[in-house]
Amino acid sequence: MPDTPATPALVVLAAGLGSRFGGLKQLAGVGPGGASLLEYSLFDARRAGFARVVFVIRPEMQGDFRSFAESRLPDTLHWQICLQRLDVLPSSHPAPTGRTRPWGTAHAVLAAEALVDSSFAVVNADDFYGHDAFTAMAAFLGASATDWALVGYRIADTLSGAGGVNRGVLSTRGGGMLSGIEEVMDIERRDDGAIVGLGEVGPRVVPGDSLVSMNCWGFTPGVFGELRAGFERFLQRADLARDEFPLPVAVQEILARREHQVRVLSPGSRWFGMTYRDDLPAVRKALEELTAGGHYPERLWS
């Protein structure tokens, strides 16, 4: 579908394998009217002023994803597809044999470079971010020509009752600017209510009101050059059979060089998602409640 000159753009990361979920959760119908979480994000993004969407997918997903977009999405939503390919690497790095996993979320954003020439937001296809998150991000992108942004969510609101989750715990400095991201793995709530996980230097307790990244970012096009250079460095040190280049790690490296600033937005949006298949009942219940409360129509595109 042809693009339009409207700004800002929305880049949707939809190439994930869904290994813990056990299937293509990006397109799973979970709303009362059968809509996927992806469609709720597109609905909220369009209300907030995003008119262009770029879907980043794996090559083998093209048929299913194009069929979904052409049959489900309204004609007024202008979308494009780009492919996150394993074999598209700098000439100095031949593609490894036997690798099947995508290169990670930072590489997925980099894959969209040819289709994005304006400020843009980035979200995951399988998360619910809430209308306020897209409104806050659209306002930020419309006001800032240089800084980047990240929507933060309270960690206590992003846990799963089905098992441990990985989160990037945010540190901020004056004015709400991001100073660091710590990747904390296998986070769960203990029986005593404490939230615990494995941090970069060992086990740690994370306060429930700590803000975490759920991969809702805002960037200027200048990020592509930074990610390209970071991916080159990653390839030089990585285990090419298994390592990934995630977006929080890439941004952390950029922050360490003090070359860009990232503002943490905290609009109080509700987040939920599907890490595990056992998360489905809670997601369906949440969407039913939001629909009953008048926040969304039962059929999003009717």
Lowest mean pLDDT among 101-105, 133-137, 169-173: 101-105
Q: Are 118 and 221 in contact (CB under 8 A)?
A: yes
Q: Are 127 and 215 in contact (CB under 8 A)?
A: yes
Task: Write down all domains in the chain, each with its CATH number in brackets.
Answer: 9-292 (3.90.550.10)
Q: For residue 140, give both structure tokens.
A: 């930020």
pLDDT in tens, 152-166: 999 999 998 888 999
> Per residue, what are the HEC states of 72-124?
HCCCCCEEEEEECCCCCCCCCCCCCCCCCCCCCHHHHHHHCHHHCCCCEEEEE
1 has a pLDDT exceeding 50: no
What is the rounded average pLDDT of the residues 24-44?
90
The count of other CB atoms within 10 Å of the CB of residue 137 is 31
What is the rounded average pLDDT of the residues 45-55?
94
Mode of pairing for the β-strands spanning 177-189 and 195-199? antiparallel
